[in-house]
Structure 1
Amino acid sequence: MERIEVNYKNKKRYKTARYPIRQPLFIVGLIWVLSKFALMGKKYKVEKINMEGLKPPYFMLSNHEYFIDFELAALGTFPHRVNNVINIDGYIKRAWLMRLIGGICTRKFSNDIHLIKSIKKVLERGDVLGMYPEARYSACGITSYIPDSLGKLVKKCGVPVVVVIHRGNHLHTPFWNFRKKRKVPLHTTLTQVLTKEQIETLSVDEINKIIKDAFIYDDYKYQKDNGILITEKYRAEGIHKILYKCPCCKTESKMNSKGTVLYCEQCSKKWNLNEDGTLLAFDGNTEFSHVPDWYLWEKEEVKKEVLNGTYSFVDDVEVYSLPRTTCVPYLGKAKVSHTINEGFILEGYYNNAPYRILRTPLQANSLHIEYDYVHVRHEDCFVINTEDDSYFVYPKKPNVITKIGFAVEEIYQYNLKK
């Protein structure tokens, strides 16, 4: 089966293979001022650990819970220049601005060779390279997949590594309901976890272990440990998007939420999301009181389907694309399939010609998913990225994108071990 390109009238693509500018000093100051302004009225703390005497160049590797991460990280790195790796959807209709602030454009989970060159260029200039190695917002306030290739990159570049961990950002602005903020204290730590000398002597595996250990976080544990109460009456609304499978009747995509209540439309079981972040069943056994435990159980359920060969997904969808940053063409209706052996196949028609987009299991180690996506259409979608285009896929089936995201990661690992 061969790929058939989309029949665009304008064949031009946005050029991601370009070096970023060095961040102007006035931009560094402006970002600091705007970040302080954006954080007004919020309770936050930015703490530096083992950072005494550290000057650029260095890697700043941050977890990613929501946009507020950038603002808090900017306070921690000031007054140094920072070039952040930014996905191309952040460039929609504002590419000039992203370039001005020193953004390094890429397409998530694609083989972007020039990205490595841009990273090395930033470090050679003596600046900070900002990267979010999980490459997406954390859906559940816990660590997401981090590729082993990160350790190879760090070893090759040979500069110190600072890990930035934001705690409370997910609770403040959960990915599954970002429109309704909550009053939560935020705590950001910047920790130098690897010195230049350590990188010279450690193996890639040892470097990866140190980084991954430093990336362990859990916002719901942070809430419990610090006695944080979220009293907003809408605190559970949207959580069914990540807790899509009922642990009582095992039905998928029939979960829903309203107010502080999460419930299954199939078996009618209900859970309350308490002010301390724990779940409590209205009747009977509380299968999972800790939100991430439910989420990780779902991931294990998908892994079982992959290993026993029963996983597959087929659906009618609507598709938008992003070949350039000036507009987001609507490609119309299409059909998508996702299987263990073939990966993604997306087929449709545009400008009276067929197209077929292929993404094999080993071409993507994870998946870009969006809840209520603001840049294209305010619904849930997932994104198939290639090296020169991005396809925003809106399924007809309800509440399926979290499972597809799990499946991509498990299918990648399954095929990697073949």
Structure 2
Amino acid sequence: MNGEASMNMHARYRPYNLRWFNRVLRWCFGSYLRLFFRIKPIGTELFNGIKGPFVLIPNHQGILDPFMVGSYVPRPVYWVTSDGNMRSNLLKFLLRLVGSIPKSKVIPDLETVNWIVEVIRKRGGVVGIFAEGQASWDGHTLPLIPSTAKLLKLLKVPVVTAQLRGAYYSQPRWSWNQRRGIIEIEFSLLMDGAELKAASAEGILERLKAAMEYDEAQWLAEQALAFRSGRRARHLELALFLCPSCQSVATMRSFRNRFYCQNCGMVNRLGPDYLFKRVGSSEARFSTIREWNLWQESAYPALVRAAARNASKPIISDTGVMLFKGRKMNPLRLLRTGVMALYADRITLHTLSGTELSFPLADIEGAGVLKQQLFEFYFGKGLYQFRFPARNQSARKWLLAVQALKAAD
């Protein structure tokens, strides 16, 4: 980004983080979250000893994480958030009021770093960073973005971690509805400025990894808790799309607390302890979502690469897909609607008008899933986002398939 473009972006967007708005948000929405999810804070007294700027790093389980964590921090938090959340003018306006700092997923963004430095050094504020870069699909900590450690060393201010426990089962990434259980948020001081100055970036990253390591299934197994909901399994197929019985792709479906395969008839029930139970003659091959996901992440790439040997046949496809185009925080515009298909070397959209758009995999960058099921990537200078018409169409199957094919090159 050149200097002129940087100045233009500053003119268009600048995080404010108004204190009065944060107070209203904390006492209204924050109070609702604390009561509804029965949140138990641990270690909040450490904030009494931190007078200057600091960095807050929670594990990332769902869309409500920043609001839950921020409701216990006595000062406004400037959260680093995906620019995909700011493409509507209304959301951009609201997120600006709480000081959100936009970041393009996967793609390096110097402007984001400049805003973070400004908040820490000039405003003496608090910056919130999700070091995993995205919310977990199975409740286990994702690999951390290595450059986070370099940023922390550059800032040289205290680092506070916040471990959310129970947040994944309360508001899983793959669902639109919440389940009520109990959430714990434990705040800990990871390192102070002097320790950061003395440590290497590699050493900082290792300490951060150790502090962030967490598994929701393991935590729940140690608790006498139940997550009550009549729709625990609803939309689980967005995360777990591969059937372990027949290995069919995109045939998993959910209904209330049941999770079943349309192809072979396998059916499991997801209990209040988030363990899969057998139904009738169907075996519960996995106990937890985490176990199923680990198997899927191992088995699916092999299936994709095997299907790619037939270059003329789509590996996966979805109908009624809408393709949008934009860039960073700019509003997206609808390009075409049609049948989306993945081949060994490209993604295509066969449009309703009969034309075909093609995206060679070699030229695709920054592929990811935004929110529950928006698949997007950068191609050239544009961002392309694919929206699926039904809530049972998994965008994650597209991401993992693209990653498998690109890794095989």
TM-score by length of 1: 0.80
TM-superposed deviation, 1:394: 2.8
Query: Contact 1:314–1:335 (CA<8 Å) still a contact in 2?
Result: no
Cα distance in 2 for partners of 1:140, 1:249 equals 22
Matched, 1:62 2:55: no
Q: Sort the Cα spacing of 1:93 and 1:307 in 2 relative to 1 into closer, same or farther, 3 A.
A: same
- Whole-Å Cα distance in 2 between the matches of residues 101 and 325 of structure 1? 16
| Aligned counterpart in structure 1 of residue 374 of structure 2, from 354, 369, 381 | 381
Structure 2 residue identity aligned to 1:35: F
Decide which of 74, 81, 86 is 2:81's aligned counterpart. Answer: 86
CA-to-aligned-CA distance 1:222-247 (integer Å, 9 cap, x gap):
32221211232322222222221111
For 2:256, the equivalent position in structure 1 comes to 259
Q: Counterpart of 1:115 in 2: which secondary structure?
A: helix
CA distance in 2 between partners of 1:106 and 1:299 (Å): 27
Match of 1:170 in 2: 168
| Equivalent in the alignment of 1:3 | none
Using the TM superposition, give the Cα deviation of residue 393 of structure 1 relative to its aligned residue in structure 2, in angstroms. 0.5
- Show the counterpart of 1:37: 31
Residue 83 (structure 1) shift: 1.2
Q: 1:338: how far off?
A: 5.8
Distance 1:310 1:199, change over 3 A: farther
Whichever residue aligns with residue 79 of structure 2, its letter is N
Going from structure 1 to structure 2, the CA distance change for 1:386 and 1:190 (only over 3 Å counts) comes to farther
Which residue does 1:218 correspond to in 2?
215
Cα distance 1:202–1:309, how it changes in 2: closer, same or farther (>3 A)? farther
Cα distance change of structure 1 residues 331 and 44 upon mapping to structure 2, 3 Å threshold: same
Q: Is 1:238 paired with 2:231? A: no
**Deviation of 1:210 (Å):** 1.6
Match of 2:325 in 1: 321
Greater relative CO, 1 or 2 (CA 8 Å, sep 6+): 1
Cα 1:281–1:333 shift into 2, 3 Å: same
Residue matched to 1:73: 69
- CA displacement 1:34-89 (0-9 Å, x = unmatched): 333332344111222765622332221122222321222112321x2321112223
| CA–CA separation in structure 2 for the residues paired with 1:273 and 1:29 | 38
Cα distance, 1:322 vs. partner? 3.9
Q: Does 1:130 align with 2:138?
A: no
User: Which residue number corresponds to residue 203 of structure 1?
Assistant: 200
Q: In the alignment, which residue of structure 2 is the partner of 1:8?
A: none
Structure 2-normalised TM-score?
0.81
Superposed CA deviations along residues 245-283 of structure 1, whole A, max 9, x for unmatched, are: 111222221111212211112221211112211112233
- Tell me the amino acid that sits aligned with residue 268 of structure 2: W
SS at match of 2:71: helix
> How far does residue 385 in structure 1 lie from its aligned partner after superposition?
4.3
Deviations along 1:379-409, one digit per CA (max 9) or x if unpaired, are x331224696532203589734222333455
* Aligned residue runs from structure 1 range 145-160, under 5 A: 145-160=143-158
Task: Report the Cα distance in structure 2 between the residues aligned to 1:308 and 1:296, rounded to whole angstroms.
Answer: 19
Q: 1:105 to 1:16 in 2, by over 3 A?
A: farther
Displacement of 1:90 after TM fit? Answer: 2.5
1:329-340 superposed matches below 5 A: 329-333=333-337
Query: 393-402 vs 221-230, which deviates more?
Result: 393-402
After alignment, is 225-234 or 323-332 more displaced? Answer: 323-332
Check the 8 A contact 1:345/1:358 in 2, yes or no.
Answer: yes
SS of the residue corresponding to residue 49 of structure 2 reads coil
Corresponding residue to 2:49 among 50, 53, 56:
53
Structure 2 residue matching 1:137: 3-state secondary structure: coil
**Structure-to-structure mapping, 1:2-17, within 5 angstroms:** 16=9
Please report the RMSD computed on the Cα atoms of aligned residues, expressed in angstroms: 3.7
What is the CA–CA distance in structure 1 between the aligned matches of 2:328 and 2:145, rounded to whole Å?
A: 27
CA-to-aligned-CA distance 1:302-359 (integer Å, 9 cap, x gap): 344578895985646421234486754211136766678x6x7567889xx9977677
Q: Among 371, 392, 416, which residue is 2:385 paired with?
A: 392
The structure-2 alpha-carbon separation of the partners of 1:410 and 1:38, relative to structure 1 and needing over 3 Å to count, comes to farther
Q: Following the alignment from structure 2 to structure 1, what is the Cα–Cα distance between the partners of residues 387 and 364?
A: 23
Q: 1:384 touches 1:393 (CA, 8 Å); kept in 2? A: no
Compared CA separation, residues 406 and 349, structure 1 to 2 (3 A): closer
Q: 1:369 to 1:327 in 2, by over 3 A?
A: closer
SS in 1 for 2:202: helix
With over 3 angstroms needed to count, the CA separation of the structure-2 counterparts of 1:386 and 1:129, relative to structure 1, is farther
Per the alignment, residue 20 of structure 2 pairs with 26
1:100 matched to 2:97: yes
**Residue 299 of structure 1: how far off its partner (Å):** 0.9
Decide whether the 8 Å contact of 2:237 with 2:253 is kept in 1: yes
Whether the 8 Å CA contact 1:331–1:349 is kept in 2: the answer is no
User: Shift in Å at residue 293 of structure 1?
Assistant: 0.7
Structure number with higher helix proportion: 2
Matches within 5 A, 1:222-301: 222-282=219-279, 283=281, 285-301=283-299
Task: Give the whole-Å Cα distance in 2 for the aligned partners of 1:128 and 1:387.
Answer: 35
Q: Percent identity?
A: 19
Give the aligned length: 391
Tell me, which stretches of 5 or more residues in structure 2 are unaligned? Answer: none
Supply the AA of the counterpart residue of 2:400. F
**Aligned equivalents of 2:348, 2:149: Cα separation in 1:** 33
Contact 1:299 1:403 in 2 (8 A): no
Which residue type is aligned with residue 391 of structure 1?
Answer: Y
Higher mean C-alpha deviation, range 254-263 or range 386-395: 386-395
- Change in CA separation of 1:357 and 1:159 when aligned onto 2, cut-off 3 Å: farther
